[in-house]
Structure 1
Amino acid sequence: MTPAVFLDRDGVLIEDVGYPHRDEDLRLMPGAVEAVRRWNDRGLVTVVVTNQSGVARGLFSLERMEAFNALMVARLADQGARIDAVYACPFHGEAVDDRYRHPDHPDRKPNPGMILRAARDLDLDLPRSFLIGDRDSDLEAARRAGVAGHLFPGGDLAAFAATLPI
């Protein structure tokens, strides 16, 4: 089993510009490439776990969300930073599209579903893993999954990563 770093997407890996989904919305956070490379070099599996209620709210399609996530992964990879997996939750209690309406989906943070699924899929060691998020719901999902959680205040992700024990 391998330890992992779980990363929220909007506000941690990329700038949160309000439901980012268009290619031009993709702006990596300062230090994101360096931070991901650091974790790659230390042998951590790097997993994005992101709530994406914009799908449920009808702001963009599931396919557009998946294409945007793939573009993010490719942009990081172009600079030598590897994301091993992306888990996204398009469900929301107030969805305009019935397919994505759920009052409390197990994958929607603060629930730990995406983290637990990644752990099963990728054979991850949760007690040796950690999560970086920018909201209390991220940290609560980490706590419920048995993972250390760290609140990213914004700014340079690499500088923040350097303050963590791994």
Structure 2
Amino acid sequence: MKLVILDRDGTINALGAEGYVAAPDDWTPLPGALDAIARLNHAGWHVVLATNQPGLGRGLFDMATLIAIHARMHRQLAAAGGRIDAVFFCPHTTEDGCHCREPAPGLLEQICERYNVDADAVLVAGSCPEHLQAGAALGAQLHWLGPAPAEPAWTASAQVHADLAAFADHVLRA
């Protein structure tokens, strides 16, 4: 199975005015992102999200709102001919010390278990350092989206792409 695990905020959609998405109307796709996911899907790739959502734990929004945000995302993706197979999220805050909050690899481990794939075959892509740190802890193939990151240890093995569209171009050429 060909599996890509994406981060959400800053990878697929723009960040809201407060630096996060707290309402469905705040969810706005980045240019080319929906088409990139659709192209990956059409080439046989399964796309799954792994995202920290501490706004739930902080009470900034509730589960119904998160579901509505993702429903908007799914509708817009469907209109572009794409899909996200599943959304895995951590509702905890940093202070909770859970194993599912990135940079811990818990969400990614759950995804690999659910899809019965070996971590080294999975592509982990995103613009959030914690997302790629989780991918590095898992042993996945790392793809940084955006300007080249600073030099933490995991970046040595990460390929850098301008954005999700450039990442999709790279994957589809390989």
Match of 1:63 in 2: 64
> As a proportion of its length, which structure holds more helix?
2
Match of 1:5 in 2: 4
1:141 and 2:134 aligned: yes
Are the equivalent residues in 2 in contact too, given 1:8–1:48 (CA < 8 A)? Answer: yes
Instruction: Provide the identity percentage.
Output: 35
Match of 1:14 in 2: 13
Q: Secondary structure at the match of 1:106?
A: coil
Are the equivalent residues in 1 in contact too, given 2:24–2:72 (CA < 8 A)? Answer: yes
Count of aligned pairs: 157
Match of 1:162 in 2: 169
More displaced stretch, 146-155 vs 109-118: 146-155
The CA distance in 2 between the partners of 1:42 and 1:110, in whole Å, is 29
The CA distance in 1 between the partners of 2:25 and 2:84, in whole Å, is 20
Could you tell me the TM-score, scaled by structure 1's length?
0.86
Are the equivalent residues in 1 in contact too, given 2:11–2:163 (CA < 8 A)? Answer: no
User: Which runs of structure 1 show a deviation greater than 6 angstroms over 4 or more consecutive aligned residues?
Assistant: none
Residue 67 of structure 1 deviates from its aligned partner by 2.0
Are the equivalent residues in 1 in contact too, given 2:124–2:132 (CA < 8 A)? Answer: yes
More displaced stretch, 129-138 vs 119-128: 119-128
Q: Which runs of 5+ in 1 are unaligned?
A: 95-101
The CA distance in 1 between the partners of 2:37 and 2:128, in whole Å, is 20
Equivalence map 1:1-166=2 (5 Å)? 2-17=1-16, 18-94=19-95, 102=96, 104-153=97-146, 156-164=163-171, 166=174
Residue 156 of structure 1 deviates from its aligned partner by 4.6
Could you tell me the TM-score, scaled by structure 2's length?
0.82
Q: Amino acid of the residue matched to residue 110 of structure 1?
A: P
